[in-house]
Amino acid sequence: MSGGKANIARGTVASISGGSLNIADGYYASVSGGYKNKASGNWASVSGGYRNEASLRFTSVSGGTVNQAAEEGASVSGGAGNIASGYGSWIGGGHGNRAGSIYGQGGCIELPCPGYTSVSGGENNTANGLGSSILGGQNNTTNGIDSSILGGQNNTANNDFQIVP
């Protein structure tokens, strides 16, 4: 540990660079700073922010508030209340976005969680279909494989390879 206050680095080769009340539990897990962040997966990292969590292998949260990277290789770049729960899924920012599955208290509804989904930003968007993406907007949902929504509000892409402009 390099600094900060009341941080806990208990994983093998885990590190915390600063901040307060951060936890690094995983093997080679790291927290760079912030407040009440947790890197519990192996090779997981949290760069800062408040109450962010990287919980499985190779997950990362770059900042923001109350974001979760909850499946292997998933990442959240920022924003607030975002959950990347599909394998290799990514959320760029925004608020209340989901990438990878319909996420509930017990994890995703379908196992394994659909992967390689992305949400660039916006609010309350959900990318469920394998390889699907949402560029922004509000309350948009993709369920089809490789489907995309470019923006707008209250759009749904249920068919495979569907694009909603």
Distance between CA atoms of 28 and 25, rounded to whole angstroms? Answer: 9
pLDDT tens per residue across span 5-35:
999 999 999 999 999 999 999 999 999 999 9
Using only C-alpha atoms, what is the Rg of the chain?
16
- What CA–CA distance (Å, rounded) separates 45 from 99? 18
pTM for the predicted model, two decimal places: 0.91
Residue type, 106: G
Domain spans, the chain: 1-66, 81-165
Query: What digits encode the pLDDT tens for the residues 33-76?
Result: 999 999 999 999 999 999 999 999 999 999 999 999 999 999 99
Residue type, position 70, single letter? A
